[in-house]
Amino acid sequence: MKSRSRRTFLIQSSTSVAMLSGINNVCAAESSKPDSVAPTIEQYADALKGIAALEAPSDWKATEESADERFFRRSAPFRAKVSPPGSAGVPLLIGGHVWGLNTRAPLRNAVVEVWQADASGRFDNDNPAKPPPRDVFLYRARMLSDESGYFEFETVKPGAYQASQGKWRASHIRVRVQYPGYHPISTQIYFRGDLRQNEDPFFKSSLAIDLRELKLGGTVIKSGRFDMLLDPVEVK
């Protein structure tokens, strides 16, 4: 589609409910309860509004690095569901676009890798004595940006955790993005107003996003947008 992205089409289409499986999974258990009401098409569209819209950044600066790749694992599966089904925690829907700074255009098929702690602040590989099986990836995923540079994933809000004596890490999601001809970025998504942000020495306000709260079918979810801007590699 030349005039609008695939995601925009899905949002506006009356058949989009079956396609928006991420939000559907979040609400499935709750909507089956007698007192719950199944989400409408309008509610699905509202959940994506603001994070899927193709809007140019207001400030054309490269996304700030926060290069802590601790707990990273290679070869995570390609999927849009980061947290395991039925995970405890506040459901999150995060979306955004990948942009090239030199062209000011979205980048299609950028590789976006995501990893995070669970709602209690634990990573699947944070205990060297009990490493996870090689083929089991919890709270990890890879995805490709679409024709409008858009990526999206569903997860739960990660918990804060104590990194060392007197040092806390605020709730965050770790992200790495790569695209040919551009410098890769390793960074972290923070949440504005987090209770632990002033205790986290790695917290960067430029990487903090606002979360919008929505009620879908009896379930409260939060959604936020995080765009990433990549610097081109200089050709000598």
- Token readout for 130 is 């009990």
193: number of Cβ within 10 Å = 9
Question: What separation in angstroms does the CA of 183 have from each of 65, 100, 189, 232?
Answer: 11, 10, 18, 6
Question: What separation in angstroms does the CA of 229 have from each of 98, 103, 145, 187?
Answer: 6, 11, 13, 11
For residue 188, name the pLDDT band (cuts at 50, 70, 90).
very high
pLDDT at 10 over 80: no
State the pTM of this model. Answer: 0.83
What is the structure's pLDDT at 164?
Answer: 80
Q: Could you report the per-residue pLDDT of 106-121, keeping only the tens digit for each?
A: 999 999 999 999 999 9
pLDDT at 66 over 70: yes
Separation CA 110–CA 107 (nearest Å): 6
CA end-to-end span of the chain, whole Å? 36
What CATH architecture does domain 57-210+222-230 belong to? Answer: Sandwich (2.60)
